[in-house]
Structure 1
Amino acid sequence: MAMEIEEKMGIKIQSNPPESKLTQLGVRTWPKWGCPPSKFPWTYSAKETCYLLKGKVKVYPDGHNEFVEFGAGDLVEFPKGMSCTWDVSETVDKHYNFE
């Protein structure tokens, strides 16, 4: 079965990846980060891959009126150099890794 990876404005999202994929990436050993509902700008100085344990987020990449939405159970990849605004609607808890 092919893994469904959606790419929108450079952000890649894989919903509910299998535990085998998370193990392969070492996700459970990555550091954790969380934040309450809030809105803030962010620029990625390196490629980041993150896995949301909980929460719901809309990310608005700079220069776009559209947003990318993801939440608990999603594996998300942000390209190096992307500037965007995070709009957190539900408290986030995630594992993350910078390359």
Structure 2
Amino acid sequence: MASTSRPADSSSSLSITVESNPSKSRLSELGINSWPKWGCPPGKYMLKFDAQETCYLLRGKVKVYPKGSSSEVVEFGAGDLVTIPKGLSCTWDVSVAVDKHYKFEANSSSSSSSY
């Protein structure tokens, strides 16, 4: 289970995890098909994630370069379930147009956070 996840940057808590080819039952359990869809053409995009995002790529190929890291790169593509942490700034280098389902984690008072 954990062996399919690859942390992007072990020196930071802001690491992207990639689960390659999750099972249909896992995707069903997450309700992927009810999530909104988003897509983009090839290109470079500078992004900042204000909430944790989980996405499932239907198609595409992406290299992500986390800001502040000169050596780290995370690659993912069609069939990957990706979790991007809140607060991450990065550049997406999209080589094949992306089509994905995505979900942002809601910030709620019932979440486990310190006061």
Normalised to the residue count of structure 1, the TM-score between the two structures is 0.95
C-alpha separation in 2, matches of 1:50 and 1:67: 18
String of CA shifts for 1:30-55, please: whole Å, max 9, x gaps: 00000010101000000000000000
Counterpart among 11, 14, 28 of residue 33 in structure 2: 28
Instruction: Give the % identical residues.
Output: 60
String of CA shifts for 1:57-92, please: whole Å, max 9, x gaps: 000000112210000000000000000001000000
Where do residues 9-88 of structure 1 align in structure 2 (5 Å cutoff)?
9=9, 10-65=15-70, 66-88=72-94
Instruction: Read off the aligned partner of 1:26 and give its amino acid letter.
Output: G
Task: Give aligned pairs, total.
Answer: 98
C-alpha separation in 2, matches of 1:8 and 1:43: 16
Superposition CA RMSD, Å: 0.9
Ranges in structure 1 where 5+ consecutive residues have no aligned partner: none
> What is the match of residue 97 of structure 1?
103
- Larger Cα-atom Rg: 2
Secondary structure of 2:27's aligned partner = helix
C-alpha separation in 2, matches of 1:57 and 1:8: 13
Normalised to the residue count of structure 2, the TM-score between the two structures is 0.82
Runs of 4+ in 1 over 3 A off after TM superposition: none
Name the structure with the higher strand share.
1
Tell me the CA shift for residue 8 of structure 1.
1.5
Ranges in structure 2 where 5+ consecutive residues have no aligned partner: 10-14, 106-115
